[in-house]
Amino acid sequence: MIKIWTSNLGHSLKRAAYIASIVLILSIAGCVASQGQPGTGILKSRLSWLQGTPIEEIPSSQLTCETHPEIVDGNLDTVATFDVQGTVTKKYDIVGASRRSFGREQYTTDLKGTIRCEIVLKLEKPMYVNTVEVYPASRIPNLALSTTLEASGYHLGQSGTGFQPVHDKQHRDVEGTKPVKYNVAREVLYLRVTADAIEDRQNATRNDDKEINIPLKGASIREIKIYGKQLL
Protein backbone atom coordinates (compact mmCIF):
# COMPACT_ATOMS: atom_id res chain seq x y z
CA MET A 1 0.00 0.00 0.00
CA ILE A 2 2.84 2.43 0.76
CA LYS A 3 4.43 1.92 -2.66
CA ILE A 4 1.12 2.49 -4.45
CA TRP A 5 0.44 5.70 -2.50
CA THR A 6 3.94 7.07 -3.25
CA SER A 7 3.54 6.33 -6.93
CA ASN A 8 0.17 8.08 -7.09
CA LEU A 9 1.56 11.12 -5.26
CA GLY A 10 4.47 11.47 -7.72
CA HIS A 11 2.07 11.22 -10.66
CA SER A 12 -0.18 13.91 -9.15
CA LEU A 13 2.74 16.30 -8.61
CA LYS A 14 3.95 15.92 -12.19
CA ARG A 15 0.43 16.54 -13.48
CA ALA A 16 0.06 19.68 -11.31
CA ALA A 17 3.39 21.05 -12.53
CA TYR A 18 2.37 20.45 -16.15
CA ILE A 19 -0.95 22.25 -15.65
CA ALA A 20 0.80 25.16 -13.93
CA SER A 21 3.24 25.59 -16.83
CA ILE A 22 0.33 25.63 -19.32
CA VAL A 23 -1.47 28.29 -17.26
CA LEU A 24 1.69 30.44 -17.09
CA ILE A 25 2.18 30.29 -20.87
CA LEU A 26 -1.46 31.20 -21.50
CA SER A 27 -1.21 34.11 -19.01
CA ILE A 28 1.84 35.56 -20.77
CA ALA A 29 0.14 35.21 -24.13
CA GLY A 30 -2.94 36.95 -22.77
CA CYS A 31 -0.91 39.87 -21.42
CA VAL A 32 0.83 40.26 -24.76
CA ALA A 33 -2.42 40.14 -26.66
CA SER A 34 -3.91 42.79 -24.40
CA GLN A 35 -1.18 45.15 -25.59
CA GLY A 36 -2.34 44.74 -29.18
CA GLN A 37 1.10 43.57 -30.36
CA PRO A 38 2.56 40.17 -31.28
CA GLY A 39 4.46 38.55 -28.43
CA THR A 40 7.69 38.47 -30.40
CA GLY A 41 7.54 42.23 -30.95
CA ILE A 42 7.42 43.09 -27.26
CA LEU A 43 10.08 40.54 -26.36
CA LYS A 44 12.45 41.86 -29.00
CA SER A 45 11.95 45.51 -28.05
CA ARG A 46 12.51 45.06 -24.32
CA LEU A 47 14.53 41.91 -23.82
CA SER A 48 16.84 41.47 -26.78
CA TRP A 49 19.44 43.83 -25.34
CA LEU A 50 19.31 41.98 -22.02
CA GLN A 51 20.14 38.64 -23.59
CA GLY A 52 23.52 38.69 -25.24
CA THR A 53 23.49 42.13 -26.89
CA PRO A 54 26.92 43.70 -26.21
CA ILE A 55 27.49 47.15 -24.75
CA GLU A 56 28.84 49.41 -27.50
CA GLU A 57 29.67 53.07 -27.96
CA ILE A 58 26.74 55.00 -29.41
CA PRO A 59 28.10 56.64 -32.60
CA SER A 60 28.40 60.43 -32.55
CA SER A 61 26.15 60.48 -35.62
CA GLN A 62 23.30 59.39 -33.33
CA LEU A 63 23.91 62.16 -30.78
CA THR A 64 23.02 65.83 -31.10
CA CYS A 65 23.56 68.95 -29.03
CA GLU A 66 21.96 72.16 -30.31
CA THR A 67 23.99 74.55 -28.18
CA HIS A 68 27.36 72.78 -28.04
CA PRO A 69 27.80 70.44 -31.03
CA GLU A 70 31.55 70.12 -30.33
CA ILE A 71 30.74 67.97 -27.33
CA VAL A 72 29.41 65.10 -29.48
CA ASP A 73 31.38 65.50 -32.71
CA GLY A 74 33.65 62.52 -31.99
CA ASN A 75 36.74 64.75 -31.97
CA LEU A 76 38.68 65.04 -28.70
CA ASP A 77 40.53 68.10 -30.02
CA THR A 78 37.42 70.30 -30.06
CA VAL A 79 36.16 71.91 -26.84
CA ALA A 80 32.72 73.00 -25.65
CA THR A 81 32.34 75.54 -22.84
CA PHE A 82 29.32 75.93 -20.58
CA ASP A 83 27.31 79.12 -21.06
CA VAL A 84 27.21 81.28 -17.92
CA GLN A 85 24.14 83.07 -16.59
CA GLY A 86 25.48 84.93 -13.57
CA THR A 87 28.05 87.21 -11.94
CA VAL A 88 29.53 87.47 -8.44
CA THR A 89 30.10 90.57 -6.32
CA LYS A 90 32.20 90.36 -3.17
CA LYS A 91 32.23 93.20 -0.67
CA TYR A 92 32.45 94.22 2.97
CA ASP A 93 29.09 94.97 4.59
CA ILE A 94 28.16 96.24 8.01
CA VAL A 95 25.96 93.63 9.68
CA GLY A 96 24.27 93.53 13.06
CA ALA A 97 24.02 97.32 13.44
CA SER A 98 21.53 98.64 15.99
CA ARG A 99 20.98 101.67 18.21
CA ARG A 100 23.30 100.21 20.83
CA SER A 101 25.89 98.79 18.48
CA PHE A 102 27.71 99.88 15.36
CA GLY A 103 27.73 96.31 14.05
CA ARG A 104 30.66 94.54 12.52
CA GLU A 105 32.21 94.50 9.09
CA GLN A 106 31.70 91.19 7.27
CA TYR A 107 32.85 89.93 3.91
CA THR A 108 29.83 88.83 1.82
CA THR A 109 29.27 87.32 -1.61
CA ASP A 110 26.36 88.43 -3.75
CA LEU A 111 25.39 86.20 -6.70
CA LYS A 112 23.30 87.63 -9.51
CA GLY A 113 21.71 85.05 -11.78
CA THR A 114 22.76 81.44 -11.25
CA ILE A 115 26.07 79.71 -10.79
CA ARG A 116 24.76 76.49 -12.35
CA CYS A 117 25.37 75.83 -16.05
CA GLU A 118 23.94 73.11 -18.24
CA ILE A 119 24.38 71.35 -21.57
CA VAL A 120 21.68 69.03 -22.95
CA LEU A 121 22.38 66.15 -25.34
CA LYS A 122 19.75 64.25 -27.32
CA LEU A 123 19.98 60.67 -28.53
CA GLU A 124 18.58 59.79 -31.93
CA LYS A 125 15.94 57.63 -30.22
CA PRO A 126 15.41 56.16 -26.75
CA MET A 127 18.31 53.86 -25.96
CA TYR A 128 19.50 51.85 -22.99
CA VAL A 129 22.54 53.75 -21.67
CA ASN A 130 24.95 51.75 -19.56
CA THR A 131 27.74 54.29 -18.96
CA VAL A 132 28.70 57.86 -19.89
CA GLU A 133 32.27 59.14 -20.17
CA VAL A 134 33.00 62.85 -19.73
CA TYR A 135 36.33 64.13 -21.08
CA PRO A 136 37.22 67.37 -19.22
CA ALA A 137 39.19 70.21 -20.76
CA SER A 138 39.33 72.23 -17.52
CA ARG A 139 38.43 71.99 -13.88
CA ILE A 140 34.70 71.24 -13.53
CA PRO A 141 33.09 72.05 -10.15
CA ASN A 142 30.04 70.05 -9.04
CA LEU A 143 29.66 68.00 -12.21
CA ALA A 144 26.39 66.05 -12.33
CA LEU A 145 24.27 64.14 -14.85
CA SER A 146 20.52 63.66 -15.17
CA THR A 147 18.30 62.06 -17.80
CA THR A 148 14.77 61.90 -19.12
CA LEU A 149 13.06 59.44 -21.42
CA GLU A 150 10.24 61.75 -22.50
CA ALA A 151 10.56 64.60 -25.00
CA SER A 152 8.43 66.79 -22.71
CA GLY A 153 10.91 66.19 -19.90
CA TYR A 154 13.53 68.27 -21.71
CA HIS A 155 11.34 71.39 -21.63
CA LEU A 156 10.40 70.77 -18.01
CA GLY A 157 14.08 70.39 -17.27
CA GLN A 158 14.69 74.06 -18.00
CA SER A 159 12.98 74.87 -14.69
CA GLY A 160 14.69 72.10 -12.76
CA THR A 161 12.14 69.29 -13.08
CA GLY A 162 11.55 66.46 -15.50
CA PHE A 163 15.07 65.03 -15.32
CA GLN A 164 16.03 62.14 -13.05
CA PRO A 165 19.50 62.43 -11.45
CA VAL A 166 22.29 59.94 -12.06
CA HIS A 167 23.46 59.26 -8.53
CA ASP A 168 26.88 57.89 -9.44
CA LYS A 169 29.56 60.51 -8.67
CA GLN A 170 26.90 63.21 -8.41
CA HIS A 171 28.22 66.76 -7.83
CA ARG A 172 31.85 65.70 -7.86
CA ASP A 173 34.60 68.25 -8.50
CA VAL A 174 36.58 67.09 -11.52
CA GLU A 175 40.26 67.96 -11.75
CA GLY A 176 42.59 67.19 -14.64
CA THR A 177 41.75 65.90 -18.11
CA LYS A 178 41.27 62.17 -17.56
CA PRO A 179 37.81 60.90 -18.55
CA VAL A 180 35.28 60.38 -15.78
CA LYS A 181 32.94 57.39 -16.15
CA TYR A 182 29.37 57.50 -14.84
CA ASN A 183 27.18 54.41 -14.37
CA VAL A 184 23.70 55.23 -15.71
CA ALA A 185 21.95 51.87 -16.40
CA ARG A 186 18.62 53.20 -17.71
CA GLU A 187 16.79 54.09 -20.89
CA VAL A 188 17.58 57.64 -22.04
CA LEU A 189 16.40 60.12 -24.66
CA TYR A 190 17.91 63.35 -23.25
CA LEU A 191 21.05 63.63 -21.12
CA ARG A 192 21.65 66.82 -19.14
CA VAL A 193 25.15 67.73 -17.92
CA THR A 194 25.35 70.40 -15.21
CA ALA A 195 28.26 72.08 -13.42
CA ASP A 196 29.07 75.21 -11.44
CA ALA A 197 30.66 78.19 -13.14
CA ILE A 198 34.21 79.18 -12.21
CA GLU A 199 35.21 82.56 -10.79
CA ASP A 200 37.31 84.44 -13.34
CA ARG A 201 39.53 86.28 -10.85
CA GLN A 202 41.97 87.48 -13.52
CA ASN A 203 39.23 89.68 -15.01
CA ALA A 204 37.80 90.93 -11.73
CA THR A 205 37.15 94.67 -11.37
CA ARG A 206 37.22 96.75 -8.20
CA ASN A 207 34.59 99.45 -7.73
CA ASP A 208 36.11 100.83 -4.55
CA ASP A 209 38.15 99.61 -1.64
CA LYS A 210 35.32 97.40 -0.41
CA GLU A 211 33.66 95.91 -3.52
CA ILE A 212 34.97 93.56 -6.22
CA ASN A 213 32.98 92.34 -9.23
CA ILE A 214 34.09 88.91 -10.40
CA PRO A 215 32.77 87.55 -13.70
CA LEU A 216 32.02 83.85 -14.00
CA LYS A 217 33.30 81.58 -16.74
CA GLY A 218 32.08 78.15 -17.77
CA ALA A 219 34.01 74.93 -17.41
CA SER A 220 35.06 73.17 -20.62
CA ILE A 221 34.53 69.63 -21.92
CA ARG A 222 36.25 67.99 -24.88
CA GLU A 223 33.78 65.20 -25.49
CA ILE A 224 30.99 63.12 -24.01
CA LYS A 225 30.85 59.46 -25.01
CA ILE A 226 27.81 57.27 -24.39
CA TYR A 227 27.87 53.48 -24.19
CA GLY A 228 24.77 51.33 -24.32
CA LYS A 229 22.39 49.21 -26.37
CA GLN A 230 20.01 50.29 -29.09
CA LEU A 231 16.49 48.97 -28.52
CA LEU A 232 15.00 47.08 -31.44
Domain containing 77 — which CATH number? 2.60.120.260
| Overall number of domains in the chain | 2
Judged on CB neighbours under 10 Å (0-12, 13-18, 19+), 52 is: exposed
- Give the pTM: 0.70
153 and 182 housed in the same domain? yes
Q: Do 30 and 123 sit in the same domain of this protein?
A: no
221 & 164 share domain: yes
pLDDT at residue 105, as a whole number: 62
Asked, for residue 45, whether it belongs to a domain, the answer is no
167 occurs within a structural domain: yes
| Same domain, yes or no: 32 and 60 | no
Return the pLDDT at 186: 93
List the domain range (segments joined by +) for residue 11: 2-36
* Secondary structure (3-state) at 156: helix
Structural domain contains residue 173:
yes
Predicted local distance difference test score (pLDDT) of residue 107: 67
Q: Is 93 part of a structural domain of the chain?
A: no
**In this predicted structure, what is the pLDDT of residue 53?**
77
pLDDT in tens, the chain (232 residues): 444 344 444 455 455 545 545 444 444 444 444 444 333 333 455 555 456 678 899 999 999 999 999 999 999 999 999 999 888 887 766 555 555 555 456 667 778 888 999 999 999 999 999 999 999 999 999 999 999 988 776 666 554 568 999 999 999 999 999 999 999 999 999 999 999 999 888 888 887 767 888 889 999 999 999 999 876 6
User: What gap in Å lies between CA 46 and CA 105, rounded to an integer?
Assistant: 63
In a domain, 199, yes or no: yes
8 Å CB contact between 92 and 210: yes
Same domain (yes/no): 21, 64: no
Q: Tell me the one-letter amino acid at 155.
A: H
* pLDDT value of position 84: 92
Same domain membership, residue 141 and residue 67: yes
